[in-house]
Amino acid sequence: MLITFEGIEGCGKTTQIALLHTYLEKKGLNVIKTREPGGTTFGETLRKVFLHTNMEVYPLSELLVFMAMRAQHVEELIQPALKEGKVVLCDRFIDASYAYQGYGRGVDLGIIETLNRLVTKGVRPNLTVLLDCSVENGLKRKAESADMDRFEKEELAFHNKIKKAYEKMSKADPKRFFVIDGSLDIDTIHRTIRKKVVALLKNYGI
């Protein structure tokens, strides 16, 4: 079972993944938590360099770097974990490429779809939790935290494109996307996600 988390910068997905992970672990489930970009030694090493570089990176190059990290992530970690019957919680996955490199940077969506299909080897999320919050609130939260990465430093118009992209994708695939108002308090969001996930696990006999 693969559950992915998506949303704009500062939407609170990392906090929610951690809470869900702890909850499922306490329930005795075999669950792992991972993230993109990253998740493997290769991915985490590239992430450090890539997110904080001031070098000019062209949209297609950016897409290919994320795809390389995803290929490694699926092959090394996600697919083996799924084969072992684990529940995998992933902070960003295929949809981030459509949102950021596609709708954000203007790379052709067809190219992204082809590459996503190639690098994921057919692995698809069973559920995608989308934390919806305003760009202003998200960026405010980020500005209060550590140093900003190259995406967080983008202008408002870019972040608005990402927000709209996620809205569009969630409407196009309402079965997979579970949209939650990210402005609610942390505990309310956690309980809502928990309920949804528990019901899904039940459906799968887990």
Does residue number 103 form part of the binding site for ligand TYD (CB under 6 A)? no
Residues 9 and 139 sit within 8 Å (Cβ to Cβ): yes
Pairing between β-strand 2-7 and β-strand 87-91 as defined by DSSP bridges = parallel
Instruction: Report angle CA 21, 182, 96 to the nearest 5 degrees.
Output: 70
The CA R_g of the chain, rounded to the nearest whole Å, is 16
Give, as ranges, the residues between 40 and 99 that touch ligand TYD (CB under 6 A).
Answer: 51, 66, 91-92, 96-97
Shortest gap between Cβ of 156 and ligand TYD (angstroms)? Answer: 14
| Comparison of 72 and 201: residue with beta carbon closer to ligand TYD | 72
| Comparison of 138 and 201: residue with beta carbon closer to ligand TYD | 138
The single-letter DSSP state of residue 68 is H
Residues 70 and 4 sit within 8 Å (Cβ to Cβ): no
Give, as ranges, the residues between 142 and 171 that touch ligand TYD (CB under 6 A).
Answer: 149, 151
Q: Which residues bind ligand TYD (CB under 6 A)?
A: 9, 14, 36-37, 51, 66, 91-92, 96-97, 100-101, 149, 151
